[in-house]
Amino acid sequence: MTGGRQLCLSEFKPLAKEDLLTIEGFIGEILPDGLFVVRLDNAHKIIAYTAGKMRKFRIRSVVGDRVHLEMTPYDLTKGRIVFRERDANHTGLAKRRNNFRK
């Protein structure tokens, strides 16, 4: 009790999830532990990691790929890669390697 008044849980409102910024850029460098240096269109560089769904479906990103990022407005130096755009000349007929464990 502070100031003779009891606080009740019903007085607190849950915080809404903050809106994420969605921006585009190019992968400039691959770092260890699944991190990437992404060059934004305005020449800034940020550190980004691959989103869980992309990791789950084994979507690989290489240097030069155009990607979509989600960033929080609180830390503009880090982001999450949520989409990798396909190249126009990509046919999708690449040979798959089955040397992974389940």
Domain ranges for the chain, please list them. 21-84
* pLDDT tens readout for residues 42-70: 999 999 999 989 899 998 999 999 999 99
Per-residue pLDDT of 67-91, as tens digits, reads 999 999 889 999 999 999 987 776 5
Report the CATH fold assignment for 21-84.
OB fold (Dihydrolipoamide Acetyltransferase, E2P) (2.40.50)
Please give the Cα distance from 66 to 28 (Å, whole number). Answer: 10
Contact 38, 83 (CB under 8 A): no
Residue 30 has pLDDT above 50, yes or no: yes
Query: pTM for the complete prediction?
Result: 0.70
Query: 5: Cβ–Cβ under 8 A, 6 or more apart, which residues?
Result: none
Q: Using CA atoms, how far apart are residues 9 and 24, in angstroms rounded to an integer?
A: 41
